Structure 1
Amino acid sequence: MSGRTYTLKEVERQTAALPADLPALSEAARAGAARVLRRIGPVERAVLLGSGDSLYAAQSSRRFFTDAGIECLAMPATEFLHEFPSPEPPGRTTVVGVSASGGNPAVVAALSRARAAGHPTVAVTGAAASPMADAAETVVVADPGASAPSPGIRTHQASLVSLLHLAHAARAALGGPEDTVAAGPFDTAAVARAQRRTLALVEPAAATVARLLAPAPVVCVVAPTGALGTARYLAAKLSETAGVPAIASCPEEWWHVHRFGHDAAHPVLMLLSPGPGRLAALETAARMTVRRRLIVVAEAGDAEARAAASVLVPVTDGVPRAARPLVDAVVAGPVALALARVLGRLPFARQ
């Protein structure tokens, strides 16, 4: 790595800042998404591009585009650039690049190629003056402000908020009522309160979870299809913050593949939020608990999840579906911090 200094204190500070960041980010994203739709018109098909946290934000938001009847793919920018044929006909597919810094070379190149081919292009970034903003036809800027070096936490939320608002605006452009468009996809103040409650609920459980995960050579994070973007983000924070190899997979993949390489003495971490794939995940959870401990991230009042869990990591109940990724994602910071402290590691130190 570079000579930058990474600390657990900064990870803690950024995690605590998420609810306070949300109102300004949401307002900037709402206004930016509205401008984008005025500029490019209705979105018929979308391809969301990113790397790392930006890709996980794209994956978390994809289903909100598809819910609106918009065909949507979320994929790595490098894959699109080198292997994905230019969508035809030009103008029918909107290409959205996601990079908090606005400097990801693969995303910049992908947007430049798509724009040259005649497709509407959108940059989702925290930096208005950046190569990616210059490469795209139009831009949504949501900047959480300066931070010390850290695994991406505040920046991931900014990307996710922007994409959720963009999906909402795209849906509205297809015929939603004007007052719904203006209000945005969720009540921002209520979601910020839900994030604060979730942080308070997760904190007592995080130390227990860390002690259970610490002996595992690899942490397996399992989530239904609707929450795989969040699961990948959680796995990334465990790797970056605590230096632990972590993989994320859907329940079907875990059951048929990864369980054979995972010692039954080590627990599995599962997200069981409401949404697509939940029933299948519960079925897999019931099979898993016969031989191994299951750490479950789920709503505090979810009786089915609590019954399946050896340890429950509770998140706030009743969050609107459109805001669920924003609330579930705050779990990553406290769990990654607790695991880093148990293992005596600093972010990115193994490199």
Structure 2
Amino acid sequence: MIAISASGETERVVEASRAARRYGALTVAVTGTPGSPLTRVADRTLMVDLPDTEPSPGIRTYQASLLGLLLIALQVGRAPRPDITRDAAREADALREELVVLADHVDATAKAIKQECRRVADLVADAPVMVMLGSGPSYGTALFTAAKMVEGAGVFAVGQDLEEWGHVERLAYPDDMPLFVIAPPGRSRDKATEVAARAHELGRRVVAVISRGDTSAAGHAHAVLPVHGRVREEFSPLLYHLFAGYVACFVAQGLGRLPFQTHRS
């Protein structure tokens, strides 16, 4: 059982780890804080600590935790077992090299979208609610980016699966509700394009988070946030959440708010 908490102090995560260990599970802590309560109850610990810290709604720690989980998955994939061949081990090593290259793509994307995120913030800041959509690995990205809008700007936001939105939330008012469609290349891209088109028809303010040069959903969007660099769908969460911190920050500035409602005190 893998438990993730950057601080190592999240009460329910510590409790879950303690219970899992009591039932005989091997427990692994992925954390950025050595000596924390989580490390003390887990059998093993993977440290994903950052070289320097700064106040933020869990953006850099999320990236570090996500990277740690991907590295665990790759290591499990190449662990010595009768059914694991040398080719599988080499493939795992090649995938690890892909992760290293993504650091440059993260930097390029963050620089490229910053000013466009300011324009997107102006487009959506008056909305009482926002929705982030994605499927497959991007469903987790949708949940995370919605959380950043709540924590960073105090705006109610939800993450939802593409298909589920088409069945349910498309019926919700207001008609011009902002909708962020997260659509990296991969199996869910066609569905994301279809949803973006339907949302545009319904009057939603659609923001497409897509690979640079991808025109599939761009024609159905009020704004496009382009992600730089080629990335496989499995690794795409490392790149496709980057807009959320910027948009939340600019929305908060426009509304005169601080993260976690600290402006109220």
CA deviation after TM superposition for structure 1 residue 196, in Å? 1.1
Following the alignment from structure 1 to structure 2, what is the Cα–Cα distance between the partners of residues 155 and 338? 21
Q: Give the counterpart of 2:218 among 295, 300, 306.
A: 306
Given the two structures, how large is their TM-score scaled by the length of structure 1?
Answer: 0.68
1:254 aligns with 2:156: no
CA deviation after TM superposition for structure 1 residue 238, in Å? 0.9
Taking only aligned residues, the RMSD between alpha carbons, in angstroms, comes to 1.9
Per-residue deviation, residues 169-205 of structure 1 (Å, max 9, x unmatched): 1111252534444555343442111011101221121
147 and 280 in structure 1: CA distance in 2 versus 1, 3 angstrom threshold: same
In the alignment, is the contact (CA less than 8 A) between 1:264 and 1:291 conserved in 2?
yes
Following the alignment from structure 1 to structure 2, what is the Cα–Cα distance between the partners of residues 236 and 325? 15
Q: Give the counterpart of 2:150 among 220, 231, 239.
A: 239
Matching residue of 1:345: 257
Q: Which runs of 5+ in 2 are unaligned?
A: none
Q: Give the counterpart of 1:225 among 136, 140, 146.
A: 136
| Larger CA deviation: 128-137 vs 260-269 | 260-269
Matching residue of 2:193: 282
* Runs of 4+ off more than 6 Å: none
Higher relative contact order at CA 8 Å, sep ≥6: structure 1 or structure 2?
1
Following the alignment from structure 1 to structure 2, what is the Cα–Cα distance between the partners of residues 138 and 339? 40
Per-residue deviation, residues 44-74 of structure 1 (Å, max 9, x unmatched): xxxxxxxxxxxxxxxxxxxxxxxxxxxxxxx
Number of equivalenced pairs: 257
Give the SS at the match of 1:139: strand
Give the SS at the match of 1:216: coil
Matching residue of 1:103: 9
CA deviation after TM superposition for structure 1 residue 252, in Å? 2.2
1:269 aligns with 2:180: yes
| Larger CA deviation: 251-260 vs 97-106 | 251-260
In the alignment, is the contact (CA less than 8 A) between 1:186 and 1:320 conserved in 2?
no
In the alignment, is the contact (CA less than 8 A) between 2:192 and 2:217 conserved in 1?
no
CA deviation after TM superposition for structure 1 residue 155, in Å? 0.9
In the alignment, is the contact (CA less than 8 A) between 1:111 and 1:121 conserved in 2?
yes
Following the alignment from structure 2 to structure 1, what is the Cα–Cα distance between the partners of residues 41 and 209? 39
Question: What fraction of aligned residue pairs are identical, expressed as a percent?
Answer: 36
Please give the residue correspondences for 1:9-20 in structure 2 after superposition, counting only pairs within 5 Å.
none
Q: Give the counterpart of 2:245 among 320, 325, 333.
A: 333
Matching residue of 1:161: 67
Q: Which runs of 5+ in 1 are unaligned?
A: 1-94
Following the alignment from structure 1 to structure 2, what is the Cα–Cα distance between the partners of residues 110 and 163? 18
CA deviation after TM superposition for structure 1 residue 320, in Å? 3.4
